[in-house]
Structure 1
Amino acid sequence: MSSQSWQVRVLGSGVGSGFLVTQRHVMTCAHVMDGADHAEVTFAQHPDLGPFRATVIAAGEWCGTGEDRGDVAVLELERPVGVAPARFAAVNTPFVREAARLTAYGFPRGYDEGILGEFRSTSDQTIAGEWLQLEAWTSHGPPLEEGFSGAAVVREDTGEVVGMVTARYAMGGGGRMLPARALVRRWPGGAGLVPVPDHGRDSVSHLRDLVLRCEKHGDPEAVYRSVMEPLVPLPPPPPAGGFLSLWDVAWFLLTEVDPAPGTAPWADFAVHLAGRTEDSAVRNALHTWAADHRAGTAPQATVQARPTPTGGPRWSPILVEIEHSGADRDAYVVSVHVVRSGRAQLVASSTVARQHAQEWVREHLDQAFGQIDREGEELIAFAVPGDWLGEPVDEWRTGADDAAPLGCSSPVVLMDLGRRRRSRLQFKLEKAWQTLDRRAGSTDWHRVACDSPSDPAKLTVRLQGLETAVGYGTHPLTEQARGLLRAGLNAAAPVIVWSREGCSGPHGDSGRAGHPCTGAAFLDALERGLASVPLAELPRHVRDLRRDAYLAAEPQPHWATGLVLVWEDPRWFPEAPIHPQSPVR
């Protein structure tokens, strides 16, 4: 396809221009839409593609006059298009000089196929802190006129976008443009599209995602002053209206502030936000981002890699995280990651209702298998909130056309999401596994009987430092049983096992007619069947037990029916970056 094939004609409430910025998103002016929710988009260089229906998904604060700020609209096409998107210049690219010829592609009346205009910007002084002035390159070239609104302003020598046309002057052939910096203020989704010197695209996008999770935490200007007051002199905030959002503060610090040597205000900002959020995952991720950006440069990955264990199986982990979204009582944020080279990489994330979680995970596990390390054995871990620990995820269907239980197809383990988010317990778990790596021989199992009267706090103290597996005789359905399970989690027990079959028989060592209760029988079988198995290899052996239980033909259920395995070695499961549904998706 030809260069600049991303130019489009936008038919909203009127006719304007626009430009493709992702495979599915177009930028144009808000006044081109003027209240319309949908537009018809056609590609100037590729009329054969036909018109696309597009929906407005974001807009600035433009209200109806040429003097209004925020004259930005983002359209989402009905389907992705096979056209290379526009490429933005770095946010501080110099173009205000005589030799920098700028072009814009518009659709004035009578030119449905479009027309190319040539312009210059002779000053980097913004008008009211918002616009840059455009002038005609020559007196005989096409002037800016109706139909150019929303056109990308492009450096002719590089083909990079530096801004967007928003207005024309009645005389002189010139007008105004919003620089790329101003576009991203209004649309955070563009954060990863406009390069920022000394900060990688993924790094800026990651900060954007975290900040959007914190938007309710504080007045933007107050946050800015709290962060910047120790750095004298205080750079003034944007004129005429101040900060639009916390994201606007972050973007301003990244692109407008020239920090003094040895300072990194963007990192101070991240730490400040971390101290205001109650979400421990976001808080930890902000601290990690700040630590990685103290020098003002960003590594390609923003999560510190953990060394993987040298002994035991070599796993190729897939991590499924499920957490309450806060949007609705039945809504959950479900994310799938693969772990490669000690780092968690996002495969997909979405907010779904609980009854749809199984189907969503099943669809995206296939994607994860396409990205895992082929040298290891798959290990699927579900990190879930406490009220999901009883969910039979190992019994979920393997595929839409494969009814076999997932836990029979692959090793499947559970992790408690609350424990995973507590740094103290993760530290203790790592230490426990380091001790287990050095320990040879059989595995000790600590039994918690189904009729245990233990005080949960005392059980936590009793289990601390044992570096052993804990078996429970009953399914945690009662308040007492849930308290005892929480005791094992709080003690950083690396392995916890119970059966969803629960205990329905009499309690005691002998039970009725010399038969132990089902809970005691389960614990006996657990010790007989798994005492010789190293804990590092337990997921594989539990998969085999689940297969045996599923295929068992005897009248009585196999002892491993409904077996639940909480198995957590943090060295295999580093903290996953926070990726809420991105504005670019």
Structure 2
Amino acid sequence: MDGWQWRAWVGPPEGGKLGAAFLVTPTRLLTCAHTVQGLDEARIGFPGLSEGLPARVVRCGDWRREGDMGDIAVLELREPVPYAPARLAAPDELHEYSSRGRTFGVCGFPRRFDENERHATVTTSPSRVMRQEWLEIRTARGEWLEEGYSGSAVYDTATGEVIGMVTNAELRDGDRAELGWMLPLTNIRKYWEELDDLLPLRWASAEARRELRELLDGVRFTEPIGADLERAVGRPVSAGFRSVWASVRYVAEGLAEERLVRYLATLGRHLPEERRQRLAGWSARRMPAAAPGTSGTSGPAPASVIVRLERVTFDNAFDVTVHTWIDGAEGPSRPTMRVPERRVRTVVEEGVSAMVSTLYARDWMIEFAVPESWLGKPFEQWYLDARNKIRMRQRPVVVRDVDRLRPDSIRRDQAHHRWRLLNARGRSEPRPIPCDEPRRGSEFQDWLEAHVDFCVLVYGSRPVKSRLTAALNNGIPVMLWARTPCEGPSHDDCRGHHVLDALTAAVDETHPGDLPRVALALRKEALLAPKDKPHCGRDLTLLWDDPSRLPDPPLAMEV
């Protein structure tokens, strides 16, 4: 019973109950702004424990009338209570929580002669989003919501973890509702940023985050700061931020640590001197990546030559652009050339060779952003130096889906979400796809769509077109496969299974940022392996789509 003491009611000072609330610190509770509309003071009760405790009402959202967003209020108790606050779910787990058919509990305080609380079971899913603010919730058969549930936590009944708060119910005849609205924690914290101090975030300790948030409190997000943000992360940022803290949180939770270091360094010039000094001190003490040569992976993010191939709709030709990517931003590039398919390799080899001089003394790799039908090309066999027969396999070589480089690409958005999850996880956790994979066509598509946590796929042999398309459409950011098909008469002990087991084991606990280096090492091992035996590094393709490495599209492609 002790695990549920954080559930509370809220009412006016003169008595009665208006709705629900839940304890998040020993002195603070969350509820809806509309529940305490017109009140500066309220009364709080923890059923069976403490009743009628005085509290101050602090409005922190944008809600003023029915239909408004930001329906949030904080209740501040005069004295701390001895009850454990609610456990809050991590923001990056909310999608998974609500997408696997789980049921959740809510607890309300409707008008009843016995004055007891009432409980209901609800379900929700990520697809039930409403105006990018709420998620629709539906009650179990025979249960309902009614007046008095507003402000209730929505919590996992097995773990007690809270994922959001009930704000509305669609009341029908008899003032009962089977449908309601939930404000997820990810949106509650937009309006009450102090909630970030309490969430189980991974990018810094709670103490360090609180210090940084307080340091940036009240700093508005302006256009000059937005420009610095885009330069720091190396791509356009479409999200609107209510504050500088919200933008810091965006970088910290979705990108490599070195991006956060770079962004914080640019913020200083937008702050008053006293805050600038405090921010510099915080970065020196709290961010190990501020020291040279450290990052969220085993080493700094490598520079790149990024080869972009766009198929032209006529003449069987391609637009070829060779970019460089240095220190998180676009470096020198070559003008786009339109060439027939038969000349693509020659033009690419010449372009990459010309760019190498800009990368001397750096750790660098080669990225081929190409159409889907070209993802299986043996690019590592192409030449860095054709005259001296030096192949590109001397460096890490990866492929990318060129469609994801387009600003209007749905695939790009899908991949961004999965990459954020992968980067936050910090390890690959590959999903093996055997050469005798039973799922076909739409079944494979549905399987990937249902598992939003799948980020790395490893194939036992070259994936057929339907599976490759399904993986790209679902935003899978990393895939590995040997291009050699599995042609054994039986799959009981076939080449594909041996390759799959070895490749899965090789990348299992690898940080996603280290995968190009791992693929390079496997290819080098394969050079020395017996040619008559399978090796997971032979004919290896690595699709590796880090959405932060996003060079500007050539002008010809923007038209």
What is the TM-score of this pair, normalised by structure 2? 0.47
Q: Which of 1 and 2 has greater Rg?
A: 1
Give 1 or 2: higher helix fraction: 2
